Structure 1
Amino acid sequence: FKELRHESKLCFLYLSIYPEDYEINAEKLIHLLVAEGFIQEDEEMMMEDMARYYIDELIDRSLVKAERIERGKVMSCKIHDLLRDVIIKKAKELNFVNIYNEKHHSSAICRREVVHHLMNNSYLCDRSVNKRMRSFLYIGERTGFELGFVNTTNLKLKLLRALDMGGLWISSKGYICQTLPDVIGDLIHLRYLGIPDTPVNILPASISNIRFLQTLDASGYY
């Protein structure tokens, strides 16, 4: 880890956000790394190409395992269990990310929060306690017709750069939303917005306020 360049260290630490044995979509990971601001612009390479270069470097060093390769390009990867334990420990030391689950609830100071499991299918924490949050990501496996809900009040985090609600059903006052709430337009620093596999099929006009948005993932439908 100490021998890695700064950007590669950040990419490696970022892998701590994923659950155990999770197959990581390389393209999505690249977009998240860019959105988080970990990748610096280069005169010769696009930021996405730089991010892929750092991922390939981690694979070459056997820190990450290439899981699926198509036409010579890594499409998905996994992190070895032992190494995952190491980077989770390091990420905790650096307060790099907070993993929300049944044992560890929301952090009032950590700038990144990842949800792996929803308690009673709901994310009930008061998001107003951490207005410095830079990213909120839901990464989890779902079985059957189990539903996840994220209250629209969770969107009132003005400094967010990355927001991924893939597979979750967004609720407001007890009703399921098929459109993103207008408050999404207040997230003017947002670079990555993920709403894949959700009932959302309408984007509000306020989304035009997000001038720095780089990636909008609205693929699939739950």
Structure 2
Amino acid sequence: MKPLREQDSRRLFFNRVFGSENVGSVQFKEISVEILKKCGGLPLAIITIASLLACHEAGSSNEWESINNSLGAKFATKPILEEMRGILNLSYTHLLIHLRPCFLYLGMYPEDRLIIRDDLVRQWIAEGFVCNLHGADLEDVAKSYFVELINRGLIQPEKTCYGDVITCRIHYMMLDLILSKSTEDNFISVAYKHEDMARFNSCEYKVRRFSLQSSVGGAMSKALATSMPQVRSYTQFGESKYMLPLPQFKYLRVLAFEFPFNWKTTIDLRATGHLFLLRYLKVSALSAEVALPAEIQGLVHLETLELHCRPIQRFPSDITCLANLFHLILPECTLLPEGIQNMKSVSTLHCSDMSESSLKEIKGLSELTNLKELKLRVPTYYPGMTIECFDALLSSIGMLRNLKHLSLECWHKYDGYDS
């Protein structure tokens, strides 16, 4: 962390607090000099404190004095690692209660990982962190939480789309704070190696949220299961062959796997059919094979099913029975489910293969009145996609009054070849 020059520190500070270098500089000149001195020119410290001040709309001098006093005198002479943690901790202390679990949940992701906003907010909702205010849409409320964390400088915005931040990262020092707080509160447990797995098995407390970020093999699975019956969220990253003994995790709400593009493995999810409380299921492993249960209608609380993997030989036909399914991302070469018109709750639908979808299913899209995002891969030349099917598709799309995002990818398929 290379310190900034005094002039650059000042510019960064006031731009973050007031949106301009000069606004408010007279009124707060003296105290801002003290605060900036305690930040030691460290960009993360300046952004964090400035974002904290900016979130107090009144911006009174008393508020500034209180935060300045909270930093303590030692910051002025020793703004190094330990003091930096103190600044970050101050920002966490001032964080609104309902935002704290959302912030700590970022510890489920590995260091420097690009985090997709929609994944994060849907996981928050599945965990029950988001409050339904006066009938407001939960996802809209969750997105406002996400924006608030950005405004407070707690997460770093990355990619934007039409003015909205859609991906973010978390600074390694902020992640260090999160994991420290998570350990104190038994909020998240992260495993990087075999020793971590063994430690969780011997702990007195029960693991609530577990993130596997290592290449741990399957030998520990039986021993670990005894300490994890209360797990609510499980995420797995990297090239690990470890497989969660799913039947023992009846309280699981969030289940996510993310493997490298070329990692060829089999993810056996047949036992998920018994996870009654499961709300979120995502697999991001393009070279992996996924085995799903023959029937999933028992997952009555499932809200998100997102599969990025190799084609699934047998996709559950009773998926249309899931009344609370809001987000459905189908794997490669999976047709629209038969009876798609019954999935009234779906607001997000991605289908990569419309080549053999029946006219009935295409017309059924028109009945998905809650659909907000639709992404389809449509063949421009294929015997199954007749002019009648194309007309029906256009007609169905035209009847989706709540649709906000539409993506139609056209492709050619003939004589057994794609182009």
What TM-score does the superposition give when structure 2 sets the normalisation length? 0.45
In structure 2, what residue type is equivalent to 1:53? S
**Aligned partner (choices 131, 134, 143) of residue 253 of structure 2:** 134
Q: 1:220 to 1:14 in 2, by over 3 A?
A: farther
1:169 pairs with 2:289: yes
**Aligned partner (choices 105, 121, 124) of residue 243 of structure 2:** 124
1:151 pairs with 2:268: yes
On the 8 A contact 1:32/1:192 being kept in 2, the answer is no
User: CA-to-partner distance for each residue in 1:1-25, whole Å, 9 max, x for gaps?
Assistant: 2322233112112211112111111
Q: 1:202 to 1:74 in 2, by over 3 A?
A: farther
Structure 1's unaligned 5+ residue stretches are 172-179
**Aligned partner (choices 278, 291, 298) of residue 160 of structure 1:** 278
Specify the alignment match of 2:411 in structure 1. Answer: none
Structure 2's unaligned 5+ residue stretches are 1-91, 189-208, 334-351, 353-419
**Aligned partner (choices 165, 186, 189) of residue 94 of structure 1:** 186
Partner SS state of residue 305, structure 2: strand
Q: Displacement, 1:108? A: 3.1
User: CA-to-partner distance for each residue in 1:123-154, whole Å, 9 max, x for gaps?
Assistant: 434222322222211134x14x3223211334
The aligned runs of 1:1-80 (5 Å cut-off) are 1-43=92-134, 45-80=136-171
Q: Displacement, 1:77? A: 0.6
Specify the alignment match of 1:115 in structure 2. Answer: 236
Partner SS state of residue 131, structure 1: coil
Distance between the aligned counterparts of 1:127 and 1:207, measured in 2?
20
Per mean C-alpha deviation after superposition, the further-off stretch among 21-30 and 195-204 is: 195-204
Q: Displacement, 1:38? A: 1.8
Q: 1:209 to 1:70 in 2, by over 3 A?
A: closer
Specify the alignment match of 1:211 in structure 2. Answer: 323
Partner SS state of residue 212, structure 1: coil
Q: 1:91 to 1:6 in 2, by over 3 A?
A: same
Per mean C-alpha deviation after superposition, the further-off stretch among 39-48 and 49-58 is: 39-48
In structure 2, what residue type is equivalent to 1:38? F
- Equivalent residues, number: 210
On the 8 A contact 1:197/1:218 being kept in 2, the answer is no
User: CA-to-partner distance for each residue in 1:173-210, whole Å, 9 max, x for gaps?
Assistant: xxxxxxx4323222222122111244238642321332
On the 8 A contact 1:114/1:137 being kept in 2, the answer is yes
Partner SS state of residue 211, structure 2: strand
Q: Displacement, 1:157? A: 2.0
In structure 2, what residue type is equivalent to 1:116? F
User: CA-to-partner distance for each residue in 1:84-135, whole Å, 9 max, x for gaps?
Assistant: 122123334324411124458653332211111343xx34342223222222
Distance between the aligned counterparts of 2:265 and 2:107, measured in 1?
22
Q: 1:99 to 1:62 in 2, by over 3 A?
A: same
Amino-acid identity (%) = 26
Partner SS state of residue 318, structure 2: helix
Q: 1:154 to 1:87 in 2, by over 3 A?
A: farther
In structure 1, what residue type is equivalent to 2:186? L
Q: 1:219 to 1:39 in 2, by over 3 A?
A: farther
Distance between the aligned counterparts of 2:161 and 2:265, measured in 1?
32
Partner SS state of residue 252, structure 2: coil
Q: 1:22 to 1:189 in 2, by over 3 A?
A: same
Larger helix share, 1 or 2: 2
**CA RMSD after TM alignment:** 2.6
